[in-house]
Structure 1
């Protein structure tokens, strides 16, 4: 029996001695931390272990994880309060004021559960009775890409998430009753053909998020402008080709902020004698001439007179183009 007891004590002692323990000090005058990494994980990128937070000598938080990440300072201490966004380095402990009440709060890494196997955190708000776990702030540090960003000047919190190269979501929050409330959400994606950047924007009005949609021509598209016009109200029309769609002609009409009001890419007709470009979109006739655009419906017609014409572009150059969606007569 004594031999078995001695063996068990030896195994326990060996297990304790084989662990690597770091004290985490300096991030707070009130709290300190202790990180223990299990034997065999010291040199791994993702380390298995346990982190504890102490108030004086009392253990108030303990988190176990299969995937801690951290870096050491030049003097061998664990770095804290590092938040490089959106995809940069984020430290194992972040001690900052998250809810703008003037008291520093605590975020403790619990693994790599945010988007694309990024760092995730459990968040605790400082109260009159000590740290209190916040499910709402924790959600922001779990369901988005890493830790959220704090803007103390505007008292807003920003979080971002994505899916692949072509969908991003940017969310802005205000804090009400110690909870982050979304006030603005912008989703950005690309059209299937990659021609436009498409946005869905939601802004809080009273207790409702009001949605608007708009698009821009994708910046990545290389455009060859064939003809263009500017208007007094700041709007612009452009007839163009794109290297990615070199056999096709496009027409785009944008507002003063370059948001697309009309993008057309179906059938065009160029009239050599009149020097006009015409097309039909949803039972509306459009005729582009050297001075503006005639827009005609079954009930009325409007002529949009151009303020000026783009430099080094001529409508007559259409007669020289052989494109799949352009007919000449």
Structure 2
């Protein structure tokens, strides 16, 4: 017996239940060179969405790769954008709550999923999943998730030097930079700490601790504020 035939005259929303209704749906085309994404999230208001959500990752042939769950899938909308519940809304890559990159420098793309604001000074935090070629699936990395949830927003990826760079601050005038090397089959190795102390008016005190030949070397230098360039 085909049970669906017995209910074919019922409205579609009765058959589907709450799976598609009561949530906001977004599509991110070309989220990366390999993937597209469909996002579902509970709440959207005043240009911001948040709450429990899911990310469905698809390859460019429209085959679902994997589904990820977030307790607080935060995303920000552009001014004037008004998604409606139950209707697919195109989302620009720069507004997406997912970041796709090769975080462990193994040649395959990994994915970071926004999960609230647990970072430094309540900045964005992310759950990070790395692609496991043995399982042929993305597997959550505790080490990278901790890194992406402890500093100021997600870490920066320096593919040329194969380093992850995290930033943080204390108060108005103390900025921290921490660099990690990624060691294959071992994990993260902290190799540099930099503090830019601007708590005293008129000067910047820079303390750099660098791991060289497995030993930490510390250098301290003080600059007049007007001569200091953070970009160098």
TM-score of the pair, normalised by structure 1: 0.52
CA distance in 2, matches of 1:47, 1:174: 33
Secondary structure of 1:102 counterpart? coil
Name the count of aligned residue pairs: 200
How far 1:181 sits from its partner (Å)? 1.8
Out of 50, 53, 56, the residue aligned to residue 56 of structure 2 is 53
Q: Which has the higher contact order (CA 8 A, sep 6+)?
A: 2
Which residue of structure 1 lines up, in the alignment, with residue 100 of structure 2?
A: 95
Matches within 5 A, 1:139-218: 139-177=146-184, 179-192=187-200, 194-218=201-225
SS at match of 2:90: coil
CA shift digits 1:30-64 (9 cap, x unpaired): 6553322325x344525223023346446542112
| Structure 1 unmatched runs, 5+ | 1-8, 83-89, 222-329
Return the TM-score normalized by structure 2: 0.71
2:31 alignment counterpart: 27
| Structure 1 residue 25 displacement after superposition | 4.2
DSSP 3-state at the match of 1:139: helix
Residue pair 1:71, 1:91 contacting (<8 A) in 2 also:
no
Q: Residues 29, 156 of structure 1: CA spacing in aligned structure 2 closer, same or farther, 3 A cutoff?
A: closer
Counterpart pick for 1:37 among 32, 36, 41: 41
Query: Higher strand fraction: Structure 1 or Structure 2?
Result: 1
Partner of 1:4: none
Unpaired runs of at least 5, structure 2? 1-12, 82-87
Match of 2:112 among 93, 96, 107: 107
Q: Is the 8 A contact 1:188 1:200 kept in 2?
A: yes
Whole-Å Cα distance in 1 between the matches of residues 17 and 67 of structure 2?
25
Cα deviation, 1:6-45, whole Å, max 9, x if unaligned, reads xxx97x9479523222244432576553322325x34452
Is the 2:28–2:96 Cα contact (8 Å) retained in structure 1? no
Q: Contact 1:107/1:122 (CA < 8 Å) preserved in 2?
A: yes
Corresponding residue SS for 2:144 = helix
1:165 deviates by 2.1
Name the counterpart of 1:237. Answer: none
Give, in angstroms, the shift of residue 93 of structure 1: 1.1
Aligned partner of 2:10 in structure 1 is none
Q: CA RMSD in A?
A: 3.2
